[in-house]
Amino acid sequence: MTTLPGYHSNRISELMDAPAGHRDADWLKESLQQALMLELATLPPYLCAMWSIDDQDHDAAAAVRRIVFDEMSHLGLVGNLLTTVGGEPRLADARTVPTYPGPLPGGVRPGLTVYLSGFSKDSLDLYSRIEAPDDPVAEGQKHTSIGAFYSAILAAFRDSPELITGHHQLTRNMSHHGQGNDLVAVASLADVEKVVAVIKEQGEGTSASPENPHPGESGELAHFYVFRELFHGRRLVRTARNPDRWEFTGDKIAMPSARPMGTVPAGGWGAVDPETAEPREAGNRAYSEMLRFLEAAWQADLPARAKELLTKAVGRMRFLEGPARTLMERPLPDGSGRTYGPEFRYTPA
| Cis peptide leading into residue 210 (ω within 30°) | no
Least confident range from 6-20, 45-59, 242-256, 265-279: namely 6-20
pLDDT band at 141 (very low <50, low <70, confident <90, very high): very low
pLDDT band at 142 (very low <50, low <70, confident <90, very high): very low
Strand-pairing partners, residue 53, are: 258
pLDDT in tens, 10-43: 788 788 888 888 899 999 999 999 999 999 999 9
Measured from the Cβ of residue 123, the count of other Cβ atoms closer than 10 Å reads: 24
Residue 139 clears pLDDT 60, i.e. is over it: no
Strongest mean pLDDT among 6-15, 111-120, 144-153: 111-120
Position 36 scores a pLDDT of 94
Residue 214 clears pLDDT 80, i.e. is over it: no
Cα 73 to Cα 199: distance, rounded to the nearest angstrom: 9
Position 94 scores a pLDDT of 85
Better pLDDT: 175 or 120? 120
How much of the chain, in percent, has pLDDT values that exceed 90?
69
Residue of 348, 342, 299, 292 lying closest to 315 (CA atoms)? 292
Cα 321 to Cα 326: distance, rounded to the nearest angstrom: 9
Position 206 scores a pLDDT of 54
Q: Are 199 and 78 in contact (CB under 8 A)?
A: yes
pLDDT in tens, 50-104: 999 999 999 999 999 999 999 999 999 999 999 999 999 999 988 889 999 999 8
pLDDT in tens, 221-246: 888 899 999 999 999 998 998 888 88
Better pLDDT: 322 or 138? 322
What number is the average pLDDT over the span 280-291? 97
Position 140 scores a pLDDT of 47
Position 134 scores a pLDDT of 64
The string of DSSP codes covering 234-289 is B--EEEETTTTEEES-SSB-PPPPB--BPPPPTT-S-S--HHHHHHHHHHHHHHHH
Buried b (16+ CB within 10 A) or exposed e, 61-80: bebbbbbbbbbbbbbbbbbb
All domains in the chain, ordered by first residue: 11-272 (1.20.1260.10)
The CA-to-CA distance between both ends of the chain, in Å, stands at: 20
